[in-house]
Amino acid sequence: MKKPLIIALRMFTLAATLFAVGSCASDADSSGLEYMPDMYRSPAIEPNVDYGEIRGREHKEYKTILSSLTPPNHTIPFYGTDSTEVKLMLPGRKASFVFRETHGLFGFDFSMADEYTLAAEDKTNPYTMTPANAPLILASGKEIYTAMCQHCHGEKGDGQGPMVVSGAYVGVPAYAERAALSDGQIFYSIYYGKNMMGAHGSILNKKEIWTLVHYVRQFQRADYGKFDANGKPMTAAVADSTAKKTK
């Protein structure tokens, strides 16, 4: 066998041996040595990653740099391809001028009025209830209400939840006393908070909050969520618990 061929064969055998040994590791989850790491791992910046420590090495110059940056103006999360649901999840277009500074909102119809007053104009829940979806909406609303609201507002929406009965909180109104509120004002109260109640916008999405609006309306209207034979909603009002009784 010619000498160059022998040398080439030995070099190939040595390289194969080194590759096999190098790919072995005591950690069963290890991928072994990476000869071209950029081919395995994307160099793109990803959100919620601590780039102050990369591959076990500390980079102090990156410690104060945020990787989770604010999304571009007017962008929204992806909510699928159902146009009705996408529209439901879009941000509202009304806001007080204060929100321009506190929330970084741009392109809104800013007003000197507070958001609660602006919300009074939103009289219709955009999450439309029909005879077909009413049972699902109300069942989902009950689940959310039980987890998020019942401890203060009470199982019957009378403002007598365990937190109120224990004396920890006071002044929680009965929903029947707030029947005149628009759907938008109820939504606003839940999303941004109102008086003693904190904001829930960070833990409930818009669809869930509009679902809650449907659910709490039952405490204000005895037949809310029920429909007649023609599919029209029945909305008999609940008696105001604050009304004076007459003989």
Q: How confident is the model at residue 245 (pLDDT cuts 50, 70, 90)?
A: very low
**In the structure encoding, which two tokens stand for residue 45, read together?**
């910046």
Question: pLDDT tens digits for 165-175?
Answer: 999 988 899 99
Question: pLDDT tens digits for 210-237?
Answer: 999 999 999 998 889 889 888 888 876 6
Compute the distance between CA of residue 64 and CA of residue 143 in angstroms, rounded to an integer: 41
Amino acid making up residue 209: I
Superfamily of domain 83-234: Cytochrome c-like domain (1.10.760.10)
Sequential DSSP letters for 43-55 = -S--TT--TTEET
Residue with tokens 């219709």: 124
User: Taking each helix axis from N to C terminus, what angle separates 134-148 and 206-217, rounded to the nearest 10 degrees?
Assistant: 100
Question: pLDDT tens digits for 120-167?
Answer: 888 889 999 999 999 999 999 999 999 999 999 999 999 999 999 999
Contact indicator for 115, 95 with CB cutoff of 8 Å: yes
Residue with tokens 């609940």: 238
Instruction: CATH 1.10.760.10 in the chain: give the residue spans.
Output: 83-234
